[in-house]
Amino acid sequence: MRRGCPYGTHRVIEPKGLLPQPAWKIDNTMEIYDNEILIDVDTLNIDSASFTQIKEEAGDDDARIAEIMMRIVAERGKHHNPVTGSGGMLIGRVAEIGPALAGKRDLKVGDRIATLVSLSLTPLRIDRIKKIHRDKDQVEIEGKAILFESGIYAILPDDLPETLALAVLDVAGAAAQTAKLVKPGDRVVVIGAGGKSGLLCLHEARKRAGVTGQVIGIAPREKSKQRAESTGYCDVVILADATNALEVMEKVREATGGAMADVTINCVNIPNTELASILATRDGGTVYFFSMATSFTAAALGAEGVGKDITMIVGNGYTKGHAEISLHVMRESSVLRRIFEELYV
């Protein structure tokens, strides 16, 4: 059996020399190398920015969504949206474990797992698309995928429905990073507060900022606003268009008495929200861009253009313990569990 690179470079077809994520095309043949794991895939959770773009391109035609997804995988060997640059994650059953990994993992053949690495770097083969869940960003398929030696995963818990666990694990980095960034007494703004990652961030922001802090949600529509308000984690939820930076700035200024946010967390799935995040934040504050729709060029040059001295953090989807932290939220918060069950189960 062939030996592969722990980071999957042996799968890169073009351009040679790159790692699988930035590569245009990778090898998705399903004969494993000795340090790979083969997965029988049944559900893809498509990144929110990616699925939003695909739905806009496809219109109301689910067959067109399936066609676009099949085309992406056929062209690239992975589900790496060429427009948004993002992927998603998957759940499935372990079908085979390479001999070089024997005894080195807590896995066995037959285990149900969720991958915690992006579909934008995961060799994937879709044999059939069975069902598309537009409202959940989830797609049921028959197919296979490869997890590299460096790939991280979570064994699916027995006490949570699989589709709920998948939805939570897809954005696990957001809640865990919020837990690291927010300190007692902080003023925290969560943009996209009514969405999947935003709701988890509200929970952690409230928990970490405490009674001396302030948590402000920003939502684009009344339904999202009501969902964020129903958690009880926000001091106020603002109805605002995050692409309108001045509107957001003025409403945050009013809500904070002019102090602005110590920490702003951007969880939206549309572009052109960088400046709203920047202007909502005080000088010396921090903006965490979890959104995969973020242009980091726009963020850097935008902050420079408005003279803001702030720390801007790329939304790394991984931080130690992120899966455990985010799944614990579902066990700790009955209100969020109810909301997530209504949305994703």
Please determine, for residue 315, whether its predicted confidence score (pLDDT) is greater than 90.
no
Rounded mean pLDDT, 169-173: 90
Q: What is the pLDDT of residue 269?
A: 86
Instruction: Provide the mean pLDDT of the chain.
Output: 95
Q: What is the pLDDT of residue 64?
A: 97
Strands 88-97 and 37-46 turn out to be antiparallel
Report the C-alpha gap between 113 and 231 in whole angstroms: 29
pLDDT in tens, 119-135: 999 999 999 999 999 99
Backbone angles phi, psi at 311, to 5 degrees: -90, 125
Instruction: Indicate the pLDDT class of residue 331, thresholds 50, 70 and 90.
Output: very high
Domains along the chain? Answer: 9-156 (no CATH), 172-344 (3.40.50.720)
Secondary element (H or E) of residue 156: none
pLDDT in tens, 83-114: 999 999 999 999 999 999 987 778 999 999 99
Please determine, for residue 181, whether its predicted confidence score (pLDDT) is greater than 90.
yes
Among the listed residues 219, 163, 152, the one whose alpha carbon sits nearest the alpha carbon of residue 191: 219
Rounded mean pLDDT, 75-88: 96
Burial (CB < 10 A; 0-12, 13-18, 19+), residue 257, is: exposed
CB 127 within 8 A of CB 114: no
Please give the order of strands across the beta sheet that includes 281-289.
236-239, 214-219, 187-191, 261-266, 281-289, 311-314
95 token code pair:
């079908």
> H helices within 126-285, ranges in order?
162-170, 172-181, 196-209, 222-230, 245-256, 274-279
Structure letter (DSSP) for residue 280:
T
Instruction: Indicate the pLDDT class of residue 1, thresholds 50, 70 and 90.
Output: confident
Please determine, for residue 176, whether its predicted confidence score (pLDDT) is greater than 90.
yes
Strands 124-133 and 138-147 turn out to be antiparallel
Q: What is the pLDDT of residue 27?
A: 98
CB 327 within 8 A of CB 168: yes
Q: To 10 degrees, what angle do helices 62-76 and 48-58 make?
A: 120
Burial (CB < 10 A; 0-12, 13-18, 19+), residue 307, is: exposed
Report the C-alpha gap between 151 and 167 in whole angstroms: 19
Q: What's the length of the chain? A: 345
Q: What is the pLDDT of residue 126?
A: 98
Q: What is the pLDDT of residue 319?
A: 86
pLDDT in tens, 62-71: 999 999 999 9
Q: What is the pLDDT of residue 104?
A: 75
Percent of all residues in the chain with a pLDDT value above 90, rounded to a whole number: 89
Q: What is the pLDDT of residue 293?
A: 85
Helix, strand, coil share (%) of the chain residues, nearest 5: 35, 25, 40
CB 72 within 8 A of CB 27: no
Percent of all residues in the chain with a pLDDT value above 70, rounded to a whole number: 100
DSSP 92-120: EEEEEE-GGGTTTSS--TT-EEEE-S-TT
Report the C-alpha gap between 245 and 75 in whole angstroms: 37
pLDDT in tens, 230-284: 999 999 999 999 999 999 999 999 999 999 999 999 999 899 999 999 999 999 9
pLDDT in tens, 3-17: 899 999 999 999 999
pLDDT in tens, 37-60: 999 999 999 998 999 999 999 999
Instruction: Indicate the pLDDT class of residue 31, thresholds 50, 70 and 90.
Output: very high
Report the C-alpha gap between 162 and 96 in whole angstroms: 21
Please determine, for residue 142, whether its predicted confidence score (pLDDT) is greater than 80.
yes
Please determine, for residue 170, whether its predicted confidence score (pLDDT) is greater than 90.
no
Report the C-alpha gap between 308 and 82 in whole angstroms: 32
107 token code pair:
């896995």
* 343 Rama sector, left if φ>0, alpha if ψ -120 to 50, beta otherwise: alpha
Q: What is the pLDDT of residue 103?
A: 79
